[in-house]
Structure 1
Amino acid sequence: MTVIDAETPPRPTSRTGVSVSEEWGGSSLLTQTLALTGRSVRPYLQPGVLIVTFIEPLVMLLMFGGVLRALGDTVAPQGSELSYIAGLAPAIMIITSVAAGAQAGNGLINDLRNDVITRFHTMPISRFGVLLARSLADAARSLYQLIAVAVLAALIFGFAPPGGVPGVVGSILLALFVGWSMSWIFIALAAVLRNGDVLRMITTLCTFPLLFASNAFVDPESMPVWLRVVAEANPISYANDAMRGMVAGQTSVTELLTTVGVSCVLVAVCAPIANRSFRVL
């Protein structure tokens, strides 16, 4: 009996003479992150969503600017020459940015429920890129709201701080970075818990004390002793002081570095936890 060996068909090659499978190494983490970020941002660009996203900072400005105006100078630090709105606008920026960052966890939960994450796990893409894109998408939404806060504060309340445009831009960027770093807390919680109802309760439990037990609306000197200690140790208070310094044209390097340092520590701690938990979903 004669045995005939079937010849293996030649592997397709490119013009360089290298096989196509060997030449193609997949897209980079940057390319994947940009594509996934665009996917996550696309729902935010719908007209209805844009309008609601714009209304949120408008409502906060009108509510806090009107109801809390009676607090007057207690919003700004003692000895500061900032007007009421100049001290209030940075606080609202922080609230807006942290609230947008908290939505990153809910976005990941929604992708889990829709089996989008299951599809991602079957594709040759970076798992960390999926999480990074989720955080960047909500940061992009936050940037839109932060700009809206500054513009609306100027149009409605005459927001014209001594620091001028550079001070306002700097405060927006700092608030954006703080909110982005906070988003990793909720992304990590979403990856670990995988339960939207529990995540929403924890989000409310964390964000409200963090934002209101600070110097955002009241000078800590007027608080009870125990609450003053909490407010003075609260990272959000340092962020508020740093942003108020920027809009006043008197940036404090210590407060700025403290805010950036704490934000970097949050990312360094929470991002690996989120990535490890996300890999075993």
Structure 2
Amino acid sequence: MTVVQAEADARQTPPKRRDTDTPGEHWGNSNLFTQTMALTNRSIRPYLQVGVVIVTFVEPLVMLLMFAGVLKTLGDVPGMSGDMEYIDNLAPAIMIITAVAAGAQAGNGLINDLRNDVITRFHTLPIHRFSVLLARSFADAARSLYQLIAVAVLAALIFGFAPPGGFLGVIGAILMSALVGWSMSWIFIMMAALLRNGDVLRMITTLLTFPLLFASNAFVPPESMPTGLRVIAEGNPISYANDAVRSMVAGSASVSELLTTVAVCLALVCVCAPISKRSFRVM
């Protein structure tokens, strides 16, 4: 075969297609589930850096040391359960606080992706846009999950956290707290999709989370509060979440109480997720 013939055959034979030649083909052949898992893996990677992991575990440790040490005398406040130690009442509340705080970061993560033009790139790919929001919520839920495990382990090692509900009660409390945090994350994802302003979102997040977390029955029972604050605490949804998680670690959870908490969480997602999806389309 001559050189001329070889060059002619090369021109007639099309080159083999490689994955790098069509970057969108892989996404186009996938479904919502696989796309969500791939994007979740992408969003989790920054949380696996050594510095981030250390800070992630230090946060619940600081809360445990601060509240369990400084506020230990609150175990004698009227209305506080006398059947359990104060740490057994406090640890479930810190689980809820940790999960909600992690959920609040979902909106900031979406804003950061928007600032870095990652969202613009996603819009050019043949993917379900809702998978981006799902991945964002699942990544922060995964981060909160190992924070919640850290809360339980540190509370047991340092303060002797050993509730009547035993190991199964603690596992149930962790999962319920993670569900509460995941459902709350959709509030902040919705606000991020609507506002698209990180500074405004952070101010709203602070104004929203502090009253929810501290004007509740997390640290003291509502019976010991002033009348106005007691009314707020009794109507606070975080108080109901605290009651559900505490009943699990106490081994006294009722099916109706747990189903109500799960139903409220799912209802919150059903309200916020469609609004987030609609707003995300026009980003």
The TM-score, its normalising length taken from structure 1, stands at 0.90
Deviations along 1:84-111, whole A, 9 cap, x unmatched?
Answer: 1000000000000000000000000000
Is 1:48 the counterpart of 2:51? The answer is yes
Percent identical: 77
Is 1:176 the counterpart of 2:178? The answer is yes
1:119 alignment partner in structure 2: 121
1:189 alignment partner in structure 2: 191
Is 1:61 the counterpart of 2:74? The answer is no
- Counterpart residue type for residue 109 of structure 1: I
C-alpha displacement at 1:80, in angstroms?
Answer: 4.5
Confirm or deny: 8 A CA contact 1:239 1:255 kept in the other structure. Answer: no
Deviations along 1:219-264, whole A, 9 cap, x unmatched?
Answer: 1011122221211111111111111111111113333222212111
2:75 alignment partner in structure 1: 72
User: What pairs up with 1:70-109 in 2 under 5 angstroms?
Assistant: 70-74=73-77, 78-109=80-111
Confirm or deny: 8 A CA contact 2:100 2:185 kept in the other structure. Answer: yes
- Counterpart residue type for residue 70 of structure 2: V
2-structure distance, mates of 1:221, 1:92: 20
Gaps of 5+ in 1: 1-8, 10-23
Confirm or deny: 8 A CA contact 2:28 2:127 kept in the other structure. Answer: no
Confirm or deny: 8 A CA contact 1:73 1:83 kept in the other structure. Answer: no
Deviations along 1:134-160, whole A, 9 cap, x unmatched?
Answer: 000000000010000000000000011
Is 1:150 the counterpart of 2:164? The answer is no
1:263 alignment partner in structure 2: 265
Confirm or deny: 8 A CA contact 2:43 2:139 kept in the other structure. Answer: yes
C-alpha displacement at 1:173, in angstroms?
Answer: 0.2
- Counterpart residue type for residue 61 of structure 2: L
Give the stretch that moved more between structures: 237-246 or 101-110: 237-246
2-structure distance, mates of 1:230, 1:251: 24
Confirm or deny: 8 A CA contact 1:245 1:251 kept in the other structure. Answer: yes
From 217, 233, 240, the equivalent of 1:231 is 233
1-structure distance, mates of 2:86, 2:192: 37
C-alpha displacement at 1:25, in angstroms?
Answer: 5.9
2:163 alignment partner in structure 1: 161
Give the stretch that moved more between structures: 234-243 or 24-33: 24-33
Any runs of at least 4 consecutive aligned residues in structure 1 with deviations exceeding 3 A, and if so which? 77-80
1-structure distance, mates of 2:259, 2:28: 40
